[in-house]
Structure 1
Amino acid sequence: MMYYYLCASLPALLFGRPAPMSVAEFDELCREELSARDFQLLRQAGLHVSRDPESSGALPPVLAEMVRFEQYLRTRIAQRRAGRDDDRAAALPDPAEYFGMVDFGLAQAAAADPFEREKLIDRIRWSHLDDLECGHDFDFAGLCVYRCKLAILEKYRERKAEQGRENFNRAVERISSAAGAAQE
């Protein structure tokens, strides 16, 4: 089914720019236009996916692809954190597909500070969503991609550099006091 009016009325999303609306606001717009079944499927489009490799089997093609990609990305992140020879890394399920841009992007992100690393990882997601969006300007798949992109932008809505520094400094102080108490 095509959703010309709904899709044409949505503001453009640009990585690194503020989200023009929340995911909840987007859902409200879509609730009025989509069937109940399509709306429930649309709500599955996001950054939180099942770890079960079989979870994408019953989903529409674009959602299934998004789930497999996110599973692959998270598996590769976990393997990097655990170390290649670690038992925890060996226990991770091998993803059904290979996404080369993930491995390349994660190698670049490894040297960045935590906040920049997260942005680089979200850039990997965004790039893949751009690929999935091609040819789906006014259909259900396009709405799913839009919702995922909106979820990425929404993550950064309330983040402020100053608040991050304050949180970091508090964590350092807690660690320093705990280390000092342990030495006494």
Structure 2
Amino acid sequence: MGAYYYLVSQLPSLSYGVSAAIEIKDFVELCRTFLSAQDFALLQYCRLDPEGTQPLSLGQGFQLMPESLGSSLLDNWRVWERALRLHLARLRLQHVKREQQFLADAPADPMDATMVAKQAVAIESPLEAELFLDRARWSAIESLQGFDYFGRDTVYAYYLKLQLLERKQKFKVDEGFEAYQGLYASIMDAAQSRIYAGEPK
């Protein structure tokens, strides 16, 4: 447990929307040094997308409930994210009036995941919807983390948050492109107006 205390105490603090002072690869190497082999192996399940080809994955269309990994944070996170994704898929399919047979039924709990999905699909901008979802994921991770500040679940929560921050950095390119498109459109509109008004080019 002393090694975990040392690991957690040296990690830089994280805030949503602020670039992390540590890169994911460096964090993983720290974990390799300080975590037990069994706890380190569970890092592979610290994923924003709990789907995939890993053992104990949720299966195509999230048909299966996640099996317990023995970590309260990871077990609850996978249940939360599964519920969120199922509700998002159902609501989006309803919006386009389509049905998808392979999806599992969207569970009523956790209720906050249901509410997040409903709010997200009401947001018109796809980029803003994704940013909203990631802020909600951040809050969910914090609420699921528990109170053992120097335990392994704190390490797993930190890893999930690092991935959210990395994802947020990628969105900055999209935000910049959206701003560029808006500026370009306004310049073209202004130029077109001048042409129609008979002003010289």
State the Cα distance separating 1:115 from its structure 2 match.
1.1
- Superposed CA deviations along residues 12-32 of structure 1, whole A, max 9, x for unmatched, are 111111122232221111111
Bigger Rg, structure 1 or 2:
2
- Write the letter of the residue equivalent to 1:59: L
Query: Does 2:173 match 1:163?
Result: no
Distance 2:90 2:182 in 1: 25
Aligned to 1:81: 92
- Superposed CA deviations along residues 28-62 of structure 1, whole A, max 9, x for unmatched, are 11111112221110231120212335463141232
Aligned to 1:182: none
Aligned to 2:196: none
Larger deviation, residues 128-137 vs 43-52: 43-52
For structure 2, the 5+ residue unaligned runs are: 52-57, 184-201
Cα pair distance change 1:96/1:59, threshold 3 Å: farther
- Write the letter of the residue equivalent to 1:162: G
- Superposed CA deviations along residues 76-125 of structure 1, whole A, max 9, x for unmatched, are 1111111176321x541125661222222233322241111101111111
State the Cα distance separating 1:65 from its structure 2 match.
1.1
Would you say the 8 A contact 1:77–1:106 is kept in 2?
Answer: yes
Distance 1:113 1:39 in 2: 38
Structure 1 residue ranges (4+ consecutive) displaced by more than 4 angstroms after TM superposition: 164-169
Distance 1:112 1:28 in 2: 40
Distance 1:144 1:62 in 2: 7
Aligned to 1:180: none
- Write the letter of the residue equivalent to 2:86: T
Aligned to 1:56: 66
Would you say the 8 A contact 1:31–1:39 is kept in 2?
Answer: yes
Higher relative contact order (CA 8 A, sep 6+): 1
Distance 1:79 1:21 in 2: 37
Q: Give me the identity figure in percent.
A: 30
Q: Tell me the number of residue pairs that the alignment of Structure 1 and Structure 2 aligns.
A: 168
- Superposed CA deviations along residues 127-178 of structure 1, whole A, max 9, x for unmatched, are 1111112303110111111111111111022423323456899xxxxxxxxx
The normalised TM-score by structure 1 is: 0.79
Aligned to 1:103: 114
Aligned to 2:15: 14
- Write the letter of the residue equivalent to 2:24: V
Alpha-carbon RMSD = 2.5
Query: Does 2:142 match 1:130?
Result: yes
Cα pair distance change 1:163/1:105, threshold 3 Å: same
Distance 1:49 1:92 in 2: 15
Query: Does 2:162 match 1:145?
Result: no
Would you say the 8 A contact 1:68–1:96 is kept in 2?
Answer: no
Distance 1:108 1:96 in 2: 17
Q: Partner of 2:134: helix, strand, or coil?
A: helix
- Write the letter of the residue equivalent to 1:129: I
